[in-house]
Structure 1
């Protein structure tokens, strides 16, 4: 299983913006710019490992409920997804921001409708359009916006400014949201993170620290619940589950204990790695030439797009990158770009 708590370690140090545009940056990047990257790493790791402890006992009753409700959910899936989209828009701070979010969702949905059905001639047999779409929508724009940035500034101490109760409650909110979206197609853990914000206690509402804990909890719990969804419903909900299902010719209930154990071990290993490697990684990237790092990662994303979808994938990556730049310009959340998957599902395309 993917050690989810390790991924924020690398994401925090890549795409760090110039302080002048920090207000529109990702929550983790805002903390890094403020010199609180070491604290951000630990909050993310705690959210992830706590979510595993909460998700495993919740998985059986939640799976039973979803198994009973799934025929109705599937029959009315467009309505359910539309409610999720409207919930994201309702939680916006202003009407202007909500309208901007709706525009970004529609733009991404149009991109999805236009590209998801393509069957490119790719070097990899298991390729597809998802790699260029997601790397373009969510990866390249962050790097492009930060290209002229100063990189990772010197970081302060790792003292946590959230209490243990706040961290536990926020991780629980993220875990519950991850449970909800773990059974819905096209809805990511990023959506779960935003949906969990109303449950976050006094951590600044959409404050960076609360969002980091909630998003890490949603990511990890989403993996646990996606495993149960794969076994109980036979439907993979994440890219890892699709690969697992395709590679093993299906996953039976007998494999579930081993897979859950692997997930728990991965979360614990990721937690330890964040503590051991994270601070050093921030220092190494902070000393590197940030423009060179950004260009190198962008080149890797282009190469991955070609491997998964050939020349068509590179073209889609470039278009998706342009679309991915829009939310920041309109000062709204990037999560609305999940319309690239949700939009076609709502439309039945």
Structure 2
């Protein structure tokens, strides 16, 4: 039996690895263990609870105000103990976090095979997103098996010299998680009830998120001023689950606090958040995961970044890059609010990130390796 260790630490990683954990658990020819670094402690735990996953190893590495270098060093040291204890044949990591790159490096040092879930995404700008772009490239150089969500991601890897026999196009596991999650949301939860009380049927709901480091400062102020102007419209409501980072909190509450058509709330767990996305008319975000999820919900997305490693969605027309310029955000948002033809053109296309079978495809491939 093949021994597989799945390692993740952030909320997005947990969401995207959860359906893979569930799929692997169906097969008796694998011995699997789950290790979490807890790079996001509270948000990670919420996802684990929703998907009913109990980690075999919990490294609990999150510390207040630790630097990326401190976190990276602690990940390598802590995961090495797990690798010695379990002795996996294969380590599966996800995406572009410090957890993925440092765990991959530690596994490489132990001569353990590495599988990279959501491989091949690129902006080729090492500062956007920072530090994720370089984390992803490091993991890609170390991985033995690359599970690319799209053909474009696979081509990025092939162009970088990765052997074609180690690259597999599977779709993105985030769609697996979303489709399972929507069916299992508990709409009687108190936080969902409170949001329902705010939402008015005769208004168009805009759901907003924003947390990228590269947008902090003047860019983020500009972004919030655009939201404030949108909220003046009588046909619009905004709900913004505000990231806990102080660079986000201060600007958002100073700019949008007290606005009558704006509901500022604490970050939602995954279950409540996907329910909220489903209620939206329009989404404005800098989140990577939302760019992937929204097309399956038939919701248009304006992305407040200058570049995105998810170009497939841009080409399909399901998302549009608008940056953080106030005028550009307002122009594109107003177009979608007022022009049904423009709106329909963004929601009528298929999701380029798959049909919800990525986890099964990955497991089928693992059984042949």
The structure richer in helix per residue is 1
TM normalised by structure 1 equals 0.27
TM normalised by structure 2 equals 0.26
The structure richer in strand per residue is 2
Higher relative contact order (CA 8 A, sep 6+): 1
